[in-house]
Each structure stands twice: as C-alpha cells, then as structure tokens.
Amino acid sequence: MKIISYNVNGIRAALKKGFADWLSENDFDIVCIQETKAQPEQVDISEIEALGYKAYWFSAQKKGYSGVAVFTKIDPINIIQGQNNEKSDFEGRTLQLEFKDFTLINTYFPSGSSGEIRQAFKYEFLDNYFDFIKSKQDKNIIVVGDYNICHEAIDIHNPKGLKNASGFLPEEREWVTQFIDSGFIDSFRYFNDGPDQYTWWTYRFGARGKNLGWRIDYHMVSKTLEDRLKRAVILSEAVHSDHCPLMVEID
C-alpha cells in the first residue's frame, strides 16, 4: 500500500500543472493533500475519479484558504472531519479516515511565519493536537501532512542562519521530538539518514534549483506498524507546488 502526502498549494493550480496526469502515471493507493484552497464544488476532479479514487474533503470555512482532502482507492469504514476544536476546524486542518486495521490522519499544521498572532495560534494548535493524537493511540495510526516544522538541523539547508525562523524554533522542534517519543516513527528518517533531502522550497531566490529547502512534511507511523514499513521516499521530481510529495509504503 502506497500512501502519498502532498501540500499542493491550491488543488486548482496543481491540476492546471498536471497533477492528475502525474497520478495517472503512478499506482498510489491513498493520496493525502493539504492546502487545497477550495471547496469541493469548486473543483473538477473527474480525471482523478476516473483513476479509481474516491474523494473526501474538509475545507476551511474561508474560501480559498487552507483545507485538506484524501483521494483513496481503498474504501474507509469511517470518515471524521476535524478535531472537535472550533478554532482549528474553522480552518479545515484535519481529516481522519478509519480503515480496517489502521487510522489515517491527514493534517495541515498552521504556519507561524506571518507574525506573533499566528505563531501563538500554532503553539496552541500543537498543544491541542498532541492531546488529540494521544486519545487515539490505542489504534494503529499514520499521521501525514505538512507539519510546518523542521525537526533536526539535517532537515533544513541553513540551520544556523534560520535558527530563529518560525518552523525551526526550539519549542517547535522539541514538540516533534515529544510527538515521536510518544510512540511514532518518522518514516522517512527510518530509511534515510542523509542530508539535503527536503520537501519545501521558497519560490524566491531560485531556492528549488539550488536545493535550499526545508523538510517539513512527514508520515509519522505508529511504532506498532514498524514491521509493516517497506520504504519511504521524497518524490522531488513532482513540481505542481512549492512542496513536493512524499510516499510511505506499508505492507
């Protein structure tokens, strides 16, 4: 089973850049996208549905902002929108699909880069999210998405110069450490320990061409699923967004 996580930075823009064609050229089972920036009725996904995917959405109430969706060839047994938290659910940040032997949670974590108000919201979100996930840890869980945090120095191109940047602050990085220690595996690092492997690049300064990036997207997998992990890769050749997709494969 191949599971994709991809911040598409607007599903309509990604479709215009060949997103559906890219899906048709691959054999992914579940595709989790973040930052859809759309309501379902605003998007023609007939090409995606023709590939055998069913679509599930949780959009922000503010149009053109945030939002998550999952396209899956495997039928879930239950779908839950949101975290039962008014502030984060208003922004359409979390979508859960329960399958027979695991639960998939697709999340678009807030960015704090626009200033102190959003950074404070990000910290509040992280605190609430930790409790939200902890309440579900009697199940096999895969928590995918754009976390908007680089965990270690190896995950960012300039750790010294960016040490005070939102997304690489000590408190954020410690939250990821605690999250992993609570019973998860960072699936990409489980298989890959090399540097210069990123999932996001600013559109400025020719950053992607120079590989001046950040690894802020993850598949966090319950330790109970460790023996089912087959591989995890970053698919940096896909260029429908300022992010690129990543894949985890599980038996």
Catalytic (active-site) positions? 146
How big is the chain, counted in residues?
A: 251
- Angstrom distance (rounded) from CA 213 to CA 216: 9
At a CB cut-off of 8 Å and minimum separation 6, what does 208 contact? 201, 239, 242
Kindly write down the DSSP assignment for every residue of 63-102, as one continuous string. TTS--EEEEESS--SEEEES-S-HHHHHTT-EEEEE-SS-
8 A C-beta contact, residue 105 and residue 218: no
Q: CB count, 10 Å around CB of 128?
A: 15
Residue 202 and residue 214: Cα distance in Å, rounded? 9
205: left (phi over 0), alpha (psi -120 to 50) or beta: left
- How far apart (Å, rounded) are the C-alpha atoms in residues 98 and 154? 33
